[in-house]
């Protein structure tokens, strides 16, 4: 496992992607930055982090011959690996919020952005960007955001935490690509935030509100929500927002 440490970079995902296209980057190469000036989250959101207080890194996973139809499996692997890492640290009330945020209670502590490199209908490699709030204490009044230190009062060693997460990522991916069982999907669903609980959602351009119950996630990564009259609908990421 090669770890490339940078003081500042626009985006670790962009840097690692350039490495993949221009060099012979090895599997599980990691790029970690003290500061990201253009860190990104899902759907183009910006990831804001104080310099030197959090983990902002990207890791390369070579997939060789994974079908595009199975790309959500990568989200499952990453979410489970991060969940296990933080659970080992006894972070309370951990949950996975669809598709791959990590929460403690109702507060987001970790976000993931996965960008796949394709060859036809196959995924050749994935660039997995991870932003984990670790020792930061202020988030400019952003709602429902926290950090490990705010939650536990403990100051964490970023390098040790990086190694723990990287180790779990490697173990989970090795398990997935060699045994290829549904165990990881089961574990993901067991920890899915608001599963089997009545929740408020908004959808469409008008933000129409409705009540539903998360029941499952399809193999393509769509959220299965039970709505009025026991009608089950499937939603892609941009089609639905969970309002808690």
pLDDT per residue over 187-207, tens digit each?
999 999 999 999 999 998 888
Q: Which residue has the higher pLDDT, 140 or 33?
A: 33
Q: What strand order describes the sheet that includes 240-242?
A: 231-235, 223-227, 208-217, 198-203, 240-242
**Whole domain around residue 117: which residue ranges?**
3-190
Q: Using CA atoms, how far apart are residues 241 and 72, in angstroms rounded to an integer? A: 18
Pair type for strands 30-36 and 3-9: parallel
Q: Compute CA distances 8 → 17, 24, 31, whole Å.
A: 16, 23, 11
Q: Is the pLDDT of residue 44 over 70?
A: no
Shared domain check, 138 and 40 = yes
The pTM of this model reads 0.94
CATH number, domain with residue 202: 2.30.30
Looking at 190, 213, 228, the residue that finishes a domain is 190
CATH number, domain with residue 169: 3.30.930.10
Shared domain check, 125 and 53 = yes
Task: Please classify residue 179 by burial: count the beta carbons closer than 10 Å to its beta carbon, then call 0-12 exposed, 13-18 middle and 19+ buried.
Answer: exposed
Shared domain check, 186 and 109 = yes
Shared domain check, 43 and 156 = yes
Q: Is the pLDDT of residue 50 over 90?
A: no
196, two tokens? 């089997």
pLDDT per residue over 11-33, tens digit each?
999 999 999 999 989 999 999 99
In contact, 12 and 19? CB cutoff 8 Å? no
Strands (E) located in 16-158: 30-36, 55-67, 94-97, 101-104, 107-119, 122-132
Number of domains in the chain: 2
Q: Compute CA distances 60 → 8, 12, 20, 74, 225, whole Å.
A: 19, 11, 8, 12, 33
pLDDT per residue over 101-116, tens digit each?
999 999 999 999 999 9
């Amino acid at each position: 496992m090669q770890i490339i440490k940078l003081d500042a970079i626009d985006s670790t995902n962009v840097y690692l992607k350039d490495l993949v296209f221009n060099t012979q980057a090895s599997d599980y190469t990691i790029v970690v930055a003290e500061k990201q000036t253009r860190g990104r989250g899902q759907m183009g959101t910006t990831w804001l982090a104080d310099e030197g207080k959090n983990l902002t890194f990207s890791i390369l996973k070579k997939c060789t011959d994974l079908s595009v139809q199975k790309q959500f499996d990568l989200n499952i692997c990453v979410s489970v690996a991060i969940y296990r890492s933080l659970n080992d640290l006894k972070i309370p009330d951990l949950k996975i919020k669809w598709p791959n945020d990590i929460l403690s209670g109702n507060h987001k502590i970790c976000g993931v952005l996965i960008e796949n490199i394709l060859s036809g209908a196959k995924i050749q490699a994935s660039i997995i960007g991870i932003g984990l709030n670790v020792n930061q204490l202020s988030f400019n009044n952003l709602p429902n955001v926290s950090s490990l230190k705010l939650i536990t009062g403990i100051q964490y060693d970023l390098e040790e935490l990086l190694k723990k997460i990287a180790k779990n990522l490697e173990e989970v991916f090795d398990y997935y690509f060699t045994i290829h069982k549904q165990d990881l999907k089961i574990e993901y669903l067991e920890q899915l935030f608001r599963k089997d609980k009545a929740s408020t959602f908004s959808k469409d351009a008008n933000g129409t509100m409705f009540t539903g119950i998360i029941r499952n996630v399809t193999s393509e990564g769509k959220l299965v929500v039970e709505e009025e009259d026991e009608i089950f609908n499937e939603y892609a990421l941009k089609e639905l927002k969970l309002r808690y």
